[in-house]
């Protein structure tokens, strides 16, 4: 089976590609469809594995799903929602992080839920303490928690609550929203995550009939309603994929027009892109990312929750920073273990040192602990081809960018992971003139 991507690098990526809906929104809105009493329709849905995985989970629970992949239209009819068999659920263990978000909706619909143990990228410990704590505060009981699945019930229904997050977790905020909208009475969440994907989820829930208000100080208030209907919604664009192609244009010295990319959600990335020396042109159709020639500049960067620089933008940009003049510093404050991908870059000739210390001023939870969460990148260093293995989704895309930047032929293993979040990435690479080919290992 052809599972290795052979990349003949050293050519700038030049051309146009299209980015559709955000993976980290579409999968959550699909879960929201479980809350409605009528069918939901979502548009601008990308053809990625994570959508397939969540569609499979919904189907296991009796949701009728139809997906026109070319048109990007997904229809979900939750009329016959039912419990799934334990064996079928357990077969999904380790596949994704989305199943935990099914808890609230299933508890509302069925009074109980059994969900598979979680997967997702290994970029840190990724605990679910906030999720379970929130569900318990609403009145759910966690009955069994094994490495195959988590059993919950809500014998007395779910009742609104007050909760303050220690850290503005995206998933925990979504957990609370998906549970509060049908819970009895009022719910208040303090220190909520306010990522654009969460705002789009709130828009979906409002279309369904929910009452949600968002204050300027990370406080979200929800008044539970008795019933929600289906929604009809066009997903916001994937700002992580857009930035990944932008970083690829910069690292390879090319020019990539990303149709579908939108400015408001990408302002922080665009500022950084400009500081590094990249150019961009924003049109009604998308954003053109350009390496204008000349030298790239080193920067100091810290990842943070929205409106900060996204952790998921970090890995692709670091590859471009290997081509910048001087010393760049990157402090990762969202995940404790998101520099694993740099070992492959070092193998390819990059000068990157990782540190346990906080190299930045943003308060971070990892400073006094044993985590390599800061990096110093000195450049520019020519990259040379290597045989590398993809560690996770974003790190994997960075490896791809590095292989495209490097002179010579690289072999990239484990490339399938990238299908989880990048639609038709091979077709897009070819459209941008990359010399790539799937080969036998």
Question: Active-site residue numbers?
Answer: 121
- Please identify, among the stretches 120-128, 199-207, 241-249, 343-351, the one whose residues bind ligand EPU according to the rule CB under 6 A: 120-128
- Please identify, among the stretches 126-134, 203-211, 242-250, 278-286, the one whose residues bind ligand EPU according to the rule CB under 6 A: 126-134
Among 239, 291, 331, 394, contact with ligand EPU (rule: CB under 6 A): 394
Residue 128 sits in the site that holds ligand EPU (CB under 6 A): yes
Which of 101, 39, 98 shows the shortest CA–CA distance to 73?
39
Residue 399 sits in the site that holds ligand EPU (CB under 6 A): no
Window 229-268: contact mask with ligand EPU (x via CB under 6 A): -----------x----------------------------
Which of 206, 165, 209, 163 shows the shortest CA–CA distance to 187?
163
Residue with the two structure tokens 């609104």: 160
Query: Of the two residues 305 and 324, which places its CB atom closer to ligand EPU in the complex?
Result: 305
Residue 24 sits in the site that holds ligand EPU (CB under 6 A): yes
Which of 242, 265, 259, 256 shows the shortest CA–CA distance to 290?
256
Structure tokens at 256: 């990539």
Window 139-178: contact mask with ligand EPU (x via CB under 6 A): ----------------------------x-xxxx------
Among 252, 311, 315, 328, contact with ligand EPU (rule: CB under 6 A): 311
Residue 428 sits in the site that holds ligand EPU (CB under 6 A): no
Residue 286 sits in the site that holds ligand EPU (CB under 6 A): no
Question: Is 215 within any annotated ligand binding site?
Answer: no
Which H helix or E strand runs over 25?
A: helix 23-32
Q: Which residues contact 397 (CB under 8 A, 6 or more apart)?
A: 244, 315, 316, 418, 422, 425
Please tell me the distance from the alpha carbon of residue 159 to that of residue 271, in angstroms, as a whole number. Answer: 43
Question: Is 305 within any annotated ligand binding site?
Answer: no
Query: Any bridge partners for residue 36, and if so which?
Result: 228
Helix, strand or coil, per DSSP, at residue 396: helix
DSSP string, 245-303: HHHHHHHHT-EEEEET--SGGGHHHHHHHHHHT-EEEE-SSEEEEE--SS-EE--EEEB
Binding site membership for phosphoenolpyruvate: which residues?
23-24
Instruction: Please give the residue ranges that form the binding site for ligand EPU (CB under 6 A).
Output: 23-24, 97, 121, 124-131, 167, 169-172, 193, 240, 311-312, 334-335, 393-394, 421
């Amino acid at each position: 089976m052809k599972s290795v991507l052979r990349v003949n690098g050293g050519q700038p990526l030049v051309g146009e590609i299209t980015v559709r809906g955000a993976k980290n929104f579409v999968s959550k809105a699909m879960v929201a469809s479980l809350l409605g009493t009528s069918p939901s329709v979502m548009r601008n849905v990308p053809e990625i594995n994570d959508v397939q995985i969540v569609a499979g989970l919904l189907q296991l629970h009796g949701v009728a799903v139809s997906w026109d992949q070319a048109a990007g239209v997904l229809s979900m009819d939750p009329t016959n929602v039912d419990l799934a068999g334990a064996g079928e659920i357990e077969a999904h263990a380790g596949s994704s992080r989305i199943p935990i978000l099914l808890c609230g909706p299933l508890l509302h619909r069925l009074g109980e839920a059994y969900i598979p143990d979680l997967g997702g990228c290994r970029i840190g410990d990724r605990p679910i303490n906030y999720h379970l704590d929130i569900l318990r505060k609403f009145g759910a009981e966690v009955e069994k928690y094994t490495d195959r699945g988590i059993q919950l019930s809500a014998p007395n229904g779910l009742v609104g609550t007050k909760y303050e997050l220690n850290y503005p977790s995206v998933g925990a905020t979504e957990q609370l929203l998906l549970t509060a909208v049908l819970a009895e009475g009022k719910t208040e969440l303090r220190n909520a995550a306010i990522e654009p994907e969460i705002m789009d989820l709130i828009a979906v829930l409002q279309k369904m009939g929910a009452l949600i208000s968002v204050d300027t100080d990370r406080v979200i208030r929800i008044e539970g309603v008795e019933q929600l209907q289906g929604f009809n919604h066009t997903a916001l664009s994937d700002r992580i994929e857009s930035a990944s192609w932008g970083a690829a244009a910069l690292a390879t010295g090319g020019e990539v027009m990303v149709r579908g990319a939108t400015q408001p959600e990408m302002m922080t990335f665009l500022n950084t892109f400009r500081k590094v020396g990249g150019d961009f042109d924003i049109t009604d159709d998308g954003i053109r990312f350009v390496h204008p020639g000349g030298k790239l500049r080193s920067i100091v960067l810290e990842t943070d929750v929205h409106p900060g620089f996204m952790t998921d933008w970090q890995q692709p940009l670091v590859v471009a920073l290997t081509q910048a003049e001087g010393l760049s510093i990157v402090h990762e404050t969202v995940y404790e273990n998101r520099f694993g991908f740099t070992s492959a870059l070092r193998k390819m000739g990059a000068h990157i040192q990782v540190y346990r210390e906080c190299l930045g001023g943003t308060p971070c939870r990892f400073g006094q602990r044993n985590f390599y969460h800061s990096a110093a990148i000195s450049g520019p260093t020519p990259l040379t081809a290597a045989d590398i293995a993809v560690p996770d989704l974003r790190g994997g895309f960075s490896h791809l960018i590095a292989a495209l930047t490097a002179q010579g032929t690289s072999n990239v293993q484990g490339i399938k992971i990238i299908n989880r979040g990048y639609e038709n990435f091979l077709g897009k690479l070819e459209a941008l003139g990359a010399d790539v080919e799937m080969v036998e290992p």
